[in-house]
């Protein structure tokens, strides 16, 4: 089959719909099944190891399908942003004639729901690392469209379907093999189907991600974590983001234990907060990691309140320039404070002649 024909199927568009933001920086955008646009070009840029966060998958009706281990608040914004939303990747409408056999074991006739997943974090907030399309319906499994695959997105995509359909372990591989719409994934599955269906889910996902995720992703992620400073981010959100990214290195030669993560967070937080906490026994004596983060976060709140108070004071000074000028004039001319004392310096300078 010609792969070009697959990419020419009609797609849905994002142009007129509101955006839903989940987690720190992972926008999820429901699409209307009534609007269509021409097929965009696939994203071929090489970001080179940009780091993604955990994501939640939310249907058009607002039902939470899957989420990361840390619950995320879903916030609706006023409209889509060109920086947060990339062009949607190739997507297959379940009603179209697709060469892929899909599951149809449900009696529901409700239309399918289409969700766009974009993923990026504070490490590369101006770039979209991965754009994947998930089509979730009552009669068909979700579909994974064209995109640069991350380990977390690949696993979340599959497990979201398993969760909603309550798929047993012995059926997971058979159910999920028909969901990959990227041509290279489909060809790889076609050539290896006999061996793949014999594997457990854990074995399959390990082999799939090992084959299709970025080479040396663990080394690139480790390098980025060693320079991922807090910057202007809120401390607690940044620290949790850091922990999430570090958790992806588990089982690799770059694995970071809790002690290492704590040392990195301590070194990469804003300098003034680091100076306040790194040698203070009030913080160094705390052994529990979560309690330590809470204590640092409380100190960060006090620190930001001090900055806010200083900013308000400066703003108040700028709001009354005449008062500020009087104070400056008095400081430069202390002899003008009273009429009786102002004449003495003048007489001394002129030799006593004031005429």
Domain for residue 193, yes or no? no
**pLDDT-derived band of residue 95, with 50, 70 and 90 as boundaries?**
very low
Specify whether 135 is located in the same domain as 237: no
If DSSP codes are grouped into helix, strand and coil, which group holds residue 207? helix
In a 13 Å sphere around the CA of 272, the CA atoms on its Cβ side amount to 10
Tell me what pLDDT residue 208 has: 84
Q: Report the predicted TM-score, pTM, of the whole model to 2 decimal places.
A: 0.45
Specify whether 120 is located in the same domain as 253: no
Other CB atoms within a 10 A radius of the CB of residue 19 amount to: 20
Specify whether 226 is located in the same domain as 302: yes
The packing angle between helices 289-319 and 235-247, to 10°, is 140
The pair of three-digit structure tokens given for residue 351, joined into one six-digit string: 């030799």
Specify whether 228 is located in the same domain as 149: no
- Whether 13 and 31 have beta carbons less than 8 Å apart is answered as yes
Tell me what pLDDT residue 256 has: 93
Q: Which long-range contacts (CB under 8 A, 24 or more apart) does 264-267 make?
A: 264/225, 264/226, 265/239, 265/293
Does residue 334 surpass a pLDDT of 60?
A: no
**If you average pLDDT over every residue of the chain, what do you get?**
64
The Cα–Cα gap between 337 and 330 comes to: 7
Specify whether 238 is located in the same domain as 126: no
Q: Is beta strand 57-58 parallel, antiparallel or unpaired with respect to 64-66? A: antiparallel
Specify whether 10 is located in the same domain as 149: yes
Domain for residue 179, yes or no? no
**pLDDT-derived band of residue 16, with 50, 70 and 90 as boundaries?**
very low
193-207, 263-277, 303-317, 331-345: least confidently modelled range: 331-345
Domain for residue 181, yes or no? no
C-alpha dist (Å) from residue 302 to 106, 282, 288, 311, 335: 55, 15, 22, 14, 42
Specify whether 153 is located in the same domain as 229: no
Higher pLDDT, 236 or 4: 236
**Interval 298-327: pLDDT, tens:** 998 888 887 788 788 888 877 766 555 555
Higher pLDDT, 214 or 233: 233
The pair of three-digit structure tokens given for residue 148, joined into one six-digit string: 């640069």
The Cα–Cα gap between 267 and 142 comes to: 42
Domain for residue 322, yes or no? no
Domain for residue 257, yes or no? yes
Query: What mean pLDDT is predicted for residues 40-66?
Result: 41
Which residues, 6+ apart, have CB-to-CB distance to 48 below 8 Å? 220
- Containing domain of residue 26, as a range? 3-91+110-168
The Cα–Cα gap between 167 and 170 comes to: 8
The Cα–Cα gap between 204 and 326 comes to: 77
Domain for residue 145, yes or no? yes
- Whether 108 and 123 have beta carbons less than 8 Å apart is answered as no
Total count of residues recorded for the chain: 355
Specify whether 157 is located in the same domain as 8: yes
Specify whether 244 is located in the same domain as 159: no
Q: Give the chain's domain count.
A: 2
Q: Which residue has the tokens 């076609």?
A: 190
Does residue 149 surpass a pLDDT of 60?
A: yes
DSSP conformational letter for 148: -
Specify whether 158 is located in the same domain as 233: no
Tell me what pLDDT residue 153 has: 63
100-109, 175-184, 275-284: least confidently modelled range: 100-109
The Cα–Cα gap between 294 and 303 comes to: 14
The Cα–Cα gap between 215 and 220 comes to: 9
Domain for residue 335, yes or no? no
Choose among 256, 224, 231: nearest CA to 243: 256
Radius of gyration of the chain (CA): 30
The pair of three-digit structure tokens given for residue 55, joined into one six-digit string: 């994501």
Domain for residue 277, yes or no? yes
- Whether 256 and 242 have beta carbons less than 8 Å apart is answered as no
Which residues, 6+ apart, have CB-to-CB distance to 331 below 8 Å? none
């Amino acid at each position: 089959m010609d792969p070009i024909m697959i990419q020419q199927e009609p797609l849905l568009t994002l142009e007129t719909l509101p955006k839903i933001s989940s987690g720190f920086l992972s926008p999820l955008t429901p699409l209307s099944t009534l609007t269509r646009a021409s097929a965009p070009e696939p994203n071929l840029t090489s970001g080179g190891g940009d780091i993604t966060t955990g994501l939640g998958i939310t249907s058009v009706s607002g039902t939470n399908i899957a989420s990361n281990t840390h619950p995320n608040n879903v916030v609706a914004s006023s409209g889509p942003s060109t920086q947060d939303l990339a062009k949607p990747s190739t997507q297959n409408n379940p009603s179209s004639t697709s060469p892929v056999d899909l599951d149809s074991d449900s009696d529901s006739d409700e239309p399918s729901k289409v969700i766009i997943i974009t993923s990026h974090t504070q490490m590369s907030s101006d770039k979209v690392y991965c754009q994947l399309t998930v089509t979730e319906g009552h009669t068909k499994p979700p579909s994974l469209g064209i995109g640069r695959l991350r380990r977390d997105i690949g696993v979340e995509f599959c497990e979201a379907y398993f969760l909603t359909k309550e798929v047993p372990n012995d059926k997971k591989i058979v159910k999920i093999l028909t969901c990959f719409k990227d041509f290279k994934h489909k060809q790889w599955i076609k050539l290896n189907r006999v061996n793949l269906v014999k594997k457990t889910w854990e074995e399959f996902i390990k082999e799939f991600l090992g084959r299709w995720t970025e080479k040396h992703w663990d080394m690139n992620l480790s390098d980025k974590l060693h320079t991922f400073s807090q910057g202007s981010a809120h401390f607690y959100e940044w620290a949790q983001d850091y922990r999430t990214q570090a958790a992806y290195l588990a089982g690799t030669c770059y694995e970071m234990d809790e002690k290492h993560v704590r040392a990195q967070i301590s070194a990469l937080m804003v300098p003034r907060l680091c100076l306040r906490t790194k040698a203070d026994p009030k913080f160094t004596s705390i052994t529990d990691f979560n309690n330590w983060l809470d204590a640092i976060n409380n100190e960060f709140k006090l620190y930001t309140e001090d900055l806010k108070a200083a900013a308000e004071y400066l703003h108040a000074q700028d709001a009354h320039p005449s008062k500020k000028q009087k104070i400056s004039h008095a400081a430069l001319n202390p002899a003008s404070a009273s009429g009786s004392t102002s004449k003495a310096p003048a007489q001394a300078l002129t030799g006593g002649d004031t005429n």
